Chain A
Amino acid sequence: MLNEEQIERYSRHIILENVGGAGQQKLLDSSVLIIGAGGLGAPAGLYLAAAGVGTIGVVDADTVDLTNLQRQIIHHTDDVGKEKVHSAEAKMRAINPDITVQTHNLRIMADNVRDIIREYDFVIDGTDNFAAKFLVNDACYFEKVPFSHAGILRFDGQLITVLPGETTCYRCIFGAPPPADAVPSCSQAGVLGVLAGVIGSLQATEAIKYLLQMGELLTNTLLTYNALTMTFRKVHLRRNPNCLLCGQSPQITELRDEEQGVICDIKDCKC
């Protein structure tokens, strides 16, 4: 039962016909795991906390760096040097003390990721490298936990929601991480900070829609966004029968750590 303060706090949700008091209670009873408290995870974490998602897990092994602040808005200038999970926890709890934040100050690996994600209703992939993105995809497939995948680069972003075993997965589209030498180096890449806000907020939207079972999820559809032309496009996809993970003759039957797809050539670069 919502108490008086909660009814007031969540009143703009509660008056929505698709949410109501029951929907808000459902959010409070739900859990979402955010993997990566970076550009994507920052807005997702803040909005999910504000929305009253009752349990939010945050995974990150990094500390806050000055170069993060251009886009990772959950971290403030005073947080430089602090562990990202604790910096994120403080802001989320400040917005909404109603929620529980579970911090996982670690790097996800094949031998730990499944134990973490299986505790949650939905996962937001806010990781920053291809090895981790494939690991999240595969782990969510084995644990049957739905997730939102997203990527951002320069002025472009994209995302897709995956219901494992039911809809197109990340491997259906991309197969395996690209060769390391093909990936643009940090010095060539860069990203518009606000792009992370747009895409991370869309990921949070998908999480809430999934939790409340409302609207149409971005499944079998890659939504791409270009900030310069202000263009959104939906690319429709089907499950790939040749997918190494969820296809007709799967080759991947257990989790493994992929080769790190991105190798940075600048020491301590966090572009």
Chain B
Amino acid sequence: MKLVINGEEAISKDGINVSELLIEQDVKMPEMVSVELNGSIVRREAFDATNLKEGDKVEFLYFMGGGSVAE
């Protein structure tokens, strides 16, 4: 099925859930990612139970530190 991930069209297995999508899309550190699905943040605990469908818009939002990165 077709999804839009971070603004770009992507092909994914039909009906997979958010956890599976993170693996499929080779997200290296899923703990560092928040997932927005069609405009709403998906709770981390709900990743497994949230199945995706054709045309869904997914955003992977990454934790980023800042100014002097780490101290």
Contact residues of A with B, CB < 8 Å?
Answer: 36-42, 62, 68, 72, 125-130, 133, 150-153, 156-158, 172-175, 178-179, 182-184, 186, 189-191, 196, 200, 222, 233, 235-238, 240, 242, 262, 264, 269-271
B67:A235 contact, CB within 8 angstroms: no
Cβ of B71 within 8 Å of any chain A Cβ, yes or no, is yes
Q: A151-B63, A233-B6 given as contacts; is B68 within 8 A of A128 (CB)?
A: yes
Q: A179-B31, A240-B41 given as contacts; is B68 within 8 A of A39 (CB)?
A: yes
Q: A128-B66, A172-B41, A238-B40 given as contacts; is B31 within 8 A of A264 (CB)?
A: no
Neighbour of B40 across the interface among A153, A178, A240, CB < 8 A = A240
Q: Considering the complex of A and B, which 6 residue pairs feature the smallest CB-CB distances, nearest first?
A: A151-B64, A38-B67, A182-B31, A38-B68, A39-B67, A40-B67
B68:A173 contact, CB within 8 angstroms: no
Cβ of B69 within 8 Å of any chain A Cβ, yes or no, is yes
Chain B residues with Cβ under 8 A from A172's Cβ?
A: 41
Chain A residues with Cβ under 8 A from B66's Cβ?
A: 36, 38-40, 125-129, 133, 150-152
Q: A130-B63, A178-B32, A242-B43 given as contacts; is B70 within 8 A of A262 (CB)?
A: yes
Contact residues of B with A, CB < 8 Å?
Answer: 6-7, 29, 31-32, 34, 36, 39-41, 43-44, 59, 61-71
Closest to A62 in B: B71
B70:A175 contact, CB within 8 angstroms: no
Q: A173-B34, A173-B61, A182-B29 given as contacts; is B67 within 8 A of A153 (CB)?
A: no
User: 16 other contacts beyond A125-B66, A152-B69, A270-B68, with CB at 8 A cut-off?
Assistant: A41-B67, A62-B68, A129-B65, A129-B66, A129-B70, A152-B65, A153-B69, A158-B62, A186-B70, A189-B65, A190-B69, A191-B69, A233-B6, A237-B39, A270-B71, A271-B69
Chain B residues with Cβ under 8 A from A72's Cβ?
A: 67-68
Closest to B30 in A: A182
Chain B residues with Cβ under 8 A from A130's Cβ?
A: 63, 65
Chain B residues with Cβ under 8 A from A127's Cβ?
A: 66-67
Closest to B29 in A: A182
Q: List 6 A-B contacts (CB under 8 A).
A: A128-B66, A158-B62, A183-B32, A196-B67, A237-B36, A237-B39
Chain A residues with Cβ under 8 A from B61's Cβ?
A: 173-174, 222, 235
B44:A175 contact, CB within 8 angstroms: yes
Chain B residues with Cβ under 8 A from A40's Cβ?
A: 66-67
Chain B residues with Cβ under 8 A from A182's Cβ?
A: 29, 31-32
Complexed CA–CA distance, A130 and B68 (Å):
12
Closest Cβ of chain A to B63, distance in Å, is 5
Complexed CA–CA distance, A150 and B67 (Å):
9
Closest to B46 in A: A242
Chain A residues with Cβ under 8 A from B63's Cβ?
A: 130, 151, 174, 178, 183
A189:B39 contact, CB within 8 angstroms: no
